Every structure is written in structure tokens, then in C-alpha cells.
């Protein structure tokens, strides 16, 4: 927990942080099994780019499949949602971010999958404040590709391997990032902590 605390301070001062083993291995493994089963049952769909009506599937920009998480799907899934809710409360308590809720989806990148450089906040909706990405991949190797690239400054690129249990946090509005091409199946959970939309 101490470790997480200093990582959150790093997030607050720098705008992004990487927390290895944020999710204990047993919980991460159980959640991965749930995610895998969910995809087997046909609950994933190709991800688009942009919001609602403007969404279109854009092979040139991203190539992944997603499934949104909602409460009551399974004990593994609810346990993860509880942890994310606790994280939301911690972020509010420590940094006064006024985060009211979060949304999260599982993402599956097939071999050859990628997501070009982008920021997460929509042009016409500034409710996303903090982005999170949690990784579910056991035994990830350098040669598997699929790193998350964070463009921390114009000339500074930081790369994160998508290892089981690692959580990355960054500011949704300004952190440019990309998923480099993966050479094996790549699983993650994308999370967005949101503030209330203006009326």
C-alpha cells in the first residue's frame, strides 16, 4: 500500500505512473479467466473510434475488441469493480479530483492488434479525467511486442510491458499514448474515472 501511495504521488506530480502488481496475481488470473470466458460466449465487439453516433470502426487507427463491464456479471468482475471504486475514492481523498464515477471495458487485441497514438478525452466531452489500464497477460516477453508507449514529453517515450497485474494511470486530457503492435493475444482493462458532466 505504501508503494501504491508513492506511485499515486508520482501520478499527481508527473501526470502518469506505472504500478506493477497492483492487482494480486490470484485475482488477476481469476479475472482473466472470466474475461476469456466472456469472449468465448461472444460478448466482445470490434471497437470504434469517437463517441456514440460518430463511432466508426477504423482499421487504420485501432484493431481491438471490447466488452464493457457492469455490476453483477460475476464475483471476479465485481471484486475488480470494488477495487476500482476504492481507487476512485482514494484519488478523490488525496488529490481532490472530484471523480464521480468510472467506466471500464475489457479489451482484446488479436495478434497484429494495435492502437495508434491518441488521447482518451473526447473533443466534445471533457468528463474523463483519469485513465487507467490494467494488464492481464501472463509470461509476457519482449518479443511479444504490444507495449504501451506513453509520450511523456515531445521527445520522451516511455514503454510499459502489459504484464499481469500492472496498472498504469495517466491524465486523460493530455497524455498521448499508443499500443504497439502485439504479436500474441493481448488482454487489458481500460478504465476512465469521470467527473460530473456540466448540466
* Complex with Mn ion: residue 27 or 181, whichever CB lies closer: 181
Closest approach of Cβ 115 to ligand OGA, in Å?
Answer: 5
* Complex with ligand OGA: residue 10 or 65, whichever CB lies closer: 65
Mark residues 131-160: x for contact with ligand OGA by CB under 6 A, - for none.
--x--------------x------------
Q: Of 71-130, which residues contact Mn ion (CB under 5 A)? A: 120
* Complex with ligand OGA: residue 100 or 105, whichever CB lies closer: 105
- Quick check: 188 binds ligand OGA (CB under 6 A)? yes
- Quick check: 190 binds ligand OGA (CB under 6 A)? yes
List the single partner that 107 binds among ligand OGA, Mn ion, none, CB under 5 to 8 Å by kind: ligand OGA
Report the alpha-carbon distance of residue 67 to residue 9 in Å, rounded.
31
Residues that bind Mn ion (CB under 5 A): 120
Amino acid at each position: 500500500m505504501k508503494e501504491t501511495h508513492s506511485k499515486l504521488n508520482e501520478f499527481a506530480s508527473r501526470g502518469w505512473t506505472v504500478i506493477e502488481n497492483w492487482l494480486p496475481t490470484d485475482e488477476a488470473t481469476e479475472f482473466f479467466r472470466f474475461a476469456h470466458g466472456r469472449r468465448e460466449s461472444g460478448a466482445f465487439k470490434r471497437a470504434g473510434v469517437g463517441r456514440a453516433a460518430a463511432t466508426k470502426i477504423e482499421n487504420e487507427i485501432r484493431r481491438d475488441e471490447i466488452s464493457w463491464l457492469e455490476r453483477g456479471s460475476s464475483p471476479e468482475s465485481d471484486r475488480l469493480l470494488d477495487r476500482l471504486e476504492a481507487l476512485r475514492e482514494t484519488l478523490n481523498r488525496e488529490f481532490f479530483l472530484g471523480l464521480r464515477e468510472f467506466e471500464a471495458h475489457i479489451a482484446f487485441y488479436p495478434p497484429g492488434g494495435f492502437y495508434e497514438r491518441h488521447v482518451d478525452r473526447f473533443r466534445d466531452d471533457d468528463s474523463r479525467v483519469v485513465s487507467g489500464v490494467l494488464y492481464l497477460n501472463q509470461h509476457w516477453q519482449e518479443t511479444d511486442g504490444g507495449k504501451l508507449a506513453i509520450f511523456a514529453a515531445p521527445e520522451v517515450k516511455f514503454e510499459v510491458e502489459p504484464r499481469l497485474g500492472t496498472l498504469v494511470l495517466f491524465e486523460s486530457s493530455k497524455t498521448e499514448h499508443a499500443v504497439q503492435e502485439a504479436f500474441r493475444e493481448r488482454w487489458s482493462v481500460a478504465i476512465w474515472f469521470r467527473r460530473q458532466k456540466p448540466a
